[in-house]
């Protein structure tokens, strides 16, 4: 069988000594989704995106959310059909063949690693503000990366490594910590809305789309509603990390649907409400320049105590995003190693049911990137890998509907021949809305990946050995 088209079976193969323990219920999965989605996107990227689109950023949230909703429904179908570690990589392997699966897995490595780094940088923005406010004697050059005149973003490196240590403790333990921190995060956002709502000024919404509704390249950034949507997209895709936990769900065929769809609906509403209130409380030209826009708005309104509490909540709760995506990255690494496309020793599971080697590897790489790269550039690069994974998952659902129409499906994505093409077109449009540098880097990254596959994975995979 050609290595390009060989596919793995839908049913999970036997993996002696390389299985993950089912320890997560649906509340853990919903919390994983909310923990991943509500984070840097709302606490930090709201300011970045508002600077690109103006008040039209609200529509940017809606567009990105609609595209993600199409993908989320397809993820729910595939996750319940194949409750195995690996997410879009595993789905592609069954529907699209080994080479495409490798490319998607390689893209997911890019996505998850960069997300961990981006959120670490976003967290560091709030942490640095608190450090300076407290008067701690830490040089400014150690609180930001080279792009903004510093040497290394030490807080970003610190939090990436701390989360790595927490994940090594155990899956259920880290999921429980995530659940608690998600509650803290939601209470903080509710407080922000309650405090800023009385200062709402509709005049801040004029002009509504100062940079237009498309995506226009100006310098290193793409401005306009769609240009902002391509960045905001980063804020929505935590639900795909839930699918990486499929193998560790107690009742995957029920709980994965609840986790993926439930977290997407809840988070879309939260994003739009918080963005609208922020824009009503402060002109976008003002708060978009801040690394901690929500806390900045509260200080502008004469609420320094509330600002400190919001910043504190961000510092405490934003690591949930790092935790979920680092969890997802380690599971993708694990699945690819278990299939033989990466060295199989990386699929070793420790006594606590955690793939120790890949978790440490993910944490170290994320910490290095977070220490030297700026948030907007990391987020943009991460989006390219995510869009590729979304396209592959939507395509996998449509192909399997044709190829195996009678396969029992616990959850079926509704009107797939409508939401499938719409999701594909939306993802393709968002991809073209990314900067030229991001698109170029994505293709270079995958060109390197194909070379790695041809030199190693093509002959080492379990399917190759079975021929």
pLDDT one-digit tens code per residue, 205-216:
888 878 777 767
pLDDT at residue 290, rounded to an integer: 76
pLDDT at residue 258, rounded to an integer: 80
Which residues have C-beta within 8 Å of that of residue 256, sequence separation ≥ 6? Answer: 29, 76, 79, 80, 83, 242, 243, 246, 249, 411
What are the two backbone dihedrals, phi and then psi, of residue 271, each rounded to the nearest 5 degrees? -60, -50
Which residues have C-beta within 8 Å of that of residue 452, sequence separation ≥ 6? Answer: 106
Whole-number percent of the chain with pLDDT over 90: 11
Can you name the residues that pair with 218 across neighbouring β-strands?
Answer: 221
What's the token pair of residue 348? 């070793």
d(CA 378, CA 112): 11
Residue 17 has pLDDT above 50, yes or no: no
**Rounded-to-10 torsion of CA 353, 359, 361, 367:** -160
d(CA 284, CA 281): 9
Residue 382 has pLDDT above 80, yes or no: no
H/E segment holding residue 223: strand 221-223
pLDDT at residue 99, rounded to an integer: 92
pLDDT category at 272 given cuts 50, 70, 90 is: confident
What's the token pair of residue 397? 């659902």
pLDDT at residue 421, rounded to an integer: 93
d(CA 118, CA 141): 19
d(CA 431, CA 445): 15
Higher confidence at residue 159 or residue 38? 159
What's the token pair of residue 255? 């709980």
Task: Please report the sign of the dihedral spanned by the C-alpha atoms of residue 53, residue 56, residue 60, residue 61.
Answer: positive
What are the two backbone dihedrals, phi and then psi, of residue 352, each rounded to the nearest 5 degrees? -90, 10
Residue 450 has pLDDT above 90, yes or no: yes
pLDDT at residue 44, rounded to an integer: 66
10 Å Cβ neighbour count for 253? Answer: 16
Average pLDDT for residues 281-292, to the nearest whole number?
Answer: 79
pLDDT at residue 420, rounded to an integer: 93
User: What is the residue whose two structure tokens read 């420790």?
Assistant: 350
User: DSSP character for 17?
Assistant: T
Which residues have C-beta within 8 Å of that of residue 415, sequence separation ≥ 6? Answer: none
Can you name the residues that pair with 221 across neighbouring β-strands?
Answer: 218
Buried b vs exposed e over 66-86: b needs ≥16 C-beta within 10 Å? bbbbbbbbbbbbbbbbbbbbb
Higher confidence at residue 447 or residue 59? 447
pLDDT one-digit tens code per residue, 245-264:
777 777 777 777 787 877 88
Which residues have C-beta within 8 Å of that of residue 203, sequence separation ≥ 6? Answer: none
Residue 401 has pLDDT above 80, yes or no: yes
Q: Is 143 in a helix, a strand, or coil?
A: strand
pLDDT one-digit tens code per residue, 160-169:
898 888 888 7
CA separation, residue 325 to residues 113, 239, 405 (Å) = 8, 10, 33
What are the two backbone dihedrals, phi and then psi, of residue 231, each rounded to the nearest 5 degrees? -85, -45
Output the CATH code of domain 26-466.
Answer: 1.20.1740.10
d(CA 95, CA 86): 14
pLDDT category at 365 given cuts 50, 70, 90 is: confident
Average pLDDT for residues 342-350, to the nearest whole number?
Answer: 78
Average pLDDT for residues 171-199, to the nearest whole number?
Answer: 81
pLDDT at residue 377, rounded to an integer: 64
Average pLDDT, rounded, for the chain: 81
d(CA 71, CA 240): 9
pLDDT one-digit tens code per residue, 112-124:
888 788 778 877 8
Average pLDDT for residues 363-390, to the nearest whole number?
Answer: 79
pLDDT one-digit tens code per residue, 318-338:
787 788 778 878 888 888 888
How far does Cα 48 stand from its chain's mean position?
17
pLDDT at residue 418, rounded to an integer: 93
pLDDT at residue 393, rounded to an integer: 93
User: DSSP character for 218?
Assistant: E
Average pLDDT for residues 11-36, to the nearest whole number?
Answer: 67
Average pLDDT for residues 305-330, to the nearest whole number?
Answer: 79
pLDDT one-digit tens code per residue, 229-242:
777 766 676 777 77
Cβ(424)–Cβ(308) under 8 Å? no
HSE of 69, CA atoms in CB hemisphere, 13 A: 17
Burial of 220: CB neighbours in 10 Å, binned 0-12, 13-18, 19+: exposed
10 Å Cβ neighbour count for 227? Answer: 26
What are the two backbone dihedrals, phi and then psi, of residue 224, each rounded to the nearest 5 degrees? 110, 170
Cβ(420)–Cβ(96) under 8 Å? no
Q: Is 351 in a helix, a strand, or coil?
A: coil
Average pLDDT for residues 147-159, to the nearest whole number?
Answer: 84
């Amino acid at each position: 069988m050609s290595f390009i088209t060989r596919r793995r079976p839908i049913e999970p193969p036997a993996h002696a000594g390389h299985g993950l323990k089912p320890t997560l219920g649906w509340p853990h999965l919903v919390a994983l989704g909310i923990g991943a989605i509500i984070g840097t996107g709302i606490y930090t990227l709201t300011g970045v995106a508002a600077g690109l689109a103006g008040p039209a950023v609200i529509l940017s949230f809606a567009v990105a959310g609609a595209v993600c909703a199409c993908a989320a429904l397809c993820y729910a179908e595939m996750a319940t059909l194949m409750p195995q570690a690996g997410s879009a990589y595993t789905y592609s392997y069954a529907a699209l063949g080994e080479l495409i699966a490798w490319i998607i897995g390689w893209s997911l490595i890019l996505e998850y690693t960069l997300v961990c780094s981006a959120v670490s940088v976003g967290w560091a923005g709030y942490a640095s503000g608190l450090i300076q406010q407290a008067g701690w004697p830490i040089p400014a050059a150690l609180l930001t990366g080279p792009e903004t005149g510093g040497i290394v973003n030490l807080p970003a490196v610190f939090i990436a490594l701390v989360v790595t240590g927490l994940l090594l403790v155990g899956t259920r333990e880290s999921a429980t910590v995530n659940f608690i921190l998600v509650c803290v995060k939601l209470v903080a956002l509710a407080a922000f809305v309650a405090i800023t709502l009385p200062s709402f000024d509709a005049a801040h919404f004029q002009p509504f789309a100062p940079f237009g509704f498309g995506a226009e390249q100006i310098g290193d950034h793409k401005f306009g509603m769609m240009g902002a949507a391509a960045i905001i997209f980063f804020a929505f895709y935590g639900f795909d990390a839930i699918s990486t936990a499929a193998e560790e769900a107690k009742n995957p065929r029920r709980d994965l649907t609840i986790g993926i769809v439930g977290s997407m609906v809840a988070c879309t509403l939260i994003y739009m409400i918080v963005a609208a209130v922020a824009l009503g409380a402060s002109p976008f030209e003002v708060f978009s320049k801040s690394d901690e826009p929500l806390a900045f708005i509260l200080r502008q309104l004469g609420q320094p105590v509330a600002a400190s509490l919001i910043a504190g909540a961000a510092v405490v709760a934003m690591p949930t995003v790092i935790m979920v995506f680092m969890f997802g990255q380690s599971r993708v690494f694990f699945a690819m190693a278990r299939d033989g496309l990466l060295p199989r020793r990386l699929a070793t599971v420790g006594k606590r049911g955690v793939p120790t080697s890949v978790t440490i590897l993910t944490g170290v790489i994320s910490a290095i990137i977070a220490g030297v790269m700026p948030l907007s550039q990391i987020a943009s690069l991460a989006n390219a890998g995510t869009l590729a994974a979304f396209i592959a998952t939507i395509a996998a659902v449509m192909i399997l509907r044709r190829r195996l129409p009678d396969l029992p499906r616990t959850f079926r994505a509704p009107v797939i021949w409508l939401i499938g093409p719409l999701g594909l077109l939306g993802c393709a449009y968002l991809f073209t809305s990314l900067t030229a540098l991001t698109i170029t880097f994505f293709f270079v990254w995958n060109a390197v990946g194909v070379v790695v596959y041809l030199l190693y994975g093509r002959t080492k995979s379990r399917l190759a050995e079975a021929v």
